[in-house]
Amino acid sequence: MTLAEIFPSVRVRAPGKINVFLQVGGLDDDGYHELATAFQAVSLYEDVVATYADDFTMAVNGSVPLEGVPVDDRNLALRAARLLAAETGYEGGVHLEVHKQVPVAGGMGGGSADAAAALVACDALWGTELPTGELHRLAARLGADVPFALMGGTAIGVGRGDRLSPALARGRFDWVLVTSEEGVSTPAVYGELDRHRERHRVDIGPVPAVPQVDADVLHALRAGDARMLASTLRNDLQAATLQMRPDLAPVLELGEREGALAGIVSGSGPTLAFLCGGPEEAIDLQVTMSAAGHVALHVHGPVPGARVVG
Ligand code: C5P
C-alpha cells in the first residue's frame, strides 16, 4: 500500500478578495508602498488539492483563462509548499491540483489564495501542524495579500497590507464582478501611480505619510449597510489602472447607471466590483452586464479564509 492510499488527499478552499478601501502611501526602500486597506473575502474560490508525492509538482485547471499561469517554481502555491517544507524540515514533496475561479492577474488575490490554500493543505497533509501565527508569518513572506487569504472575513491591513486585524462586519454584501480576458501587472499599476503622483505633485499635495482606513468604512461594515459602504468605497490604484486600461471606464459607468450602488476597480484591477443593494439587485445587474457582452458574476461577502473542505 502506498502513502497516497493510506492518507487521502486534502482539499482546501480559499477566497478571492475585494479591497473596499485602499489608501496608498509612499514608496518604501523595499519597493513596497505603505497601505491602509479594508479587505472583504468574497464567494469566488480557489480550490487546492494536495496529494503525497516525492517531489514538488502541480497542475492548474479552472473556469477562467489560464494563460500565463506557471506550473513550476514561479507559481506561488508551489513556493508556499516548498517554504513550509523548508521551515518544518519535512522531507517529502507534494502534488498540488489548483482549480481556479478567481481571475488570473485580476486584482482579486487569486494567486495569493492559491498560496494560502497550499500552506493549509500541506500543513494538514504532512501533519506539520504549525500554529496559526507561524502560518501567517510564512504567508506574509510569500506576498502582501497571502495573510488575508488565510484569514478571510473582513480585515484591516496596514504596512504592505499584510499586518492584519479583523474588522467587525454584520450581514452580507452583494457584489457583481465584471472580469477581463486579460490581466494587469500589479507592479506596473503601482509604478503608474508613482508616475502619476510625480507628474501632478502640485495639484494632489503630499502623499499620506501614515495611510489610514476611514472611520466611515468601519462604521458601514459594522452596520452591514451597503448604501453607507457604497459612499465610502475608495481605491487609490483606480486612476492608475484606468490610465492603463481606458476601456474599463465606460464599463464602470454602465454598472453604476444600471443599478449598482457604486462601482470600483478591485485592487490593482482589471476586475471591476459593483456593490449592490441586495441579492435581487445583484442578479438584475449581472443579467444586464452579461447582456451587454461582459463576463459578470454575482458573489457575496464576507466569507471565511482558507480552510479544509470535503
Ligand atoms: O507582495 P506581492 O507579490 O503581492 O506584490 C506585488 C507587487 O506589488 C510588489 O512587487 C510591488 O511592486 C507592488 N506592491 C507595492 N506595495 C504593496 C503591495 C504590493 O508596491 N503594499
Ligand 1 centre from 308 Cα, in Å? 28
Report all structural domains of the chain as residue ranges with CATH numbers, in order of start.
3-166 (3.30.230.10), 173-301 (3.30.70.890)
Count H helices and E strands in the chain, helices first.
12, 12
310 touches ligand 1 (CB under 6 Å): no
CA distance 184 to 254: 21
Confirm or reject: Cβ of 33 under 6 Å from ligand 1: yes
* pLDDT in the model for residue 51: 97
145 lines ligand 1 (CB under 6 A): yes
Query: Nearest-5° angle of CA 288, CA 254, CA 294?
Result: 50
Tell me the CA–centroid distance for residue 30 and ligand 1, in Å: 10
Cell triple for 10: 486534502
Using one digit for the tens of pLDDT, what is the confidence trace for 40-99? 999 999 999 999 999 999 999 999 999 889 999 999 999 999 999 999 999 999 999 999
Q: Which of 164, 190, 196 to mutate to test the pocket of ligand 1 (most atoms within 8 A of CB)?
A: 190
Q: Kindly write down the DSSP assignment for every residue of 132-182, as one continuous string.
A: HHHHHHHHHHH-TTHHHHHHBSEEEEEETTTEEEE----S-EEEEEEE-SS
Q: Omega of the bond prior to 270 within 30 degrees of 0, cis?
A: yes
Per-residue pLDDT, averaged over 197-202, amounts to 85
31 by Cβ neighbours in 10 Å (0-12 / 13-18 / 19+) ranks as: exposed
Q: Please, which residues bridge with residue 70 across strands?
A: none
What is the torsion angle, in degrees rounded to the nearest 10, for the CA atoms of residue 208, residue 190, residue 192 and residue 256? -80
Segment holding 291, helix H or strand E: helix 279-291
Measure CA 32 to chain center.
17
Q: Which atom of ligand 1 is nearest to the CA of 35?
A: 21
pLDDT band, very low/low/confident/very high, at 310 (cuts 50, 70, 90): confident
pTM of this structure: 0.95
Share of the chain above pLDDT 90, in %: 92
Share of the chain above pLDDT 70, in %: 98
DSSP-derived secondary structure letter, 304: B
pLDDT of residue 7: 62
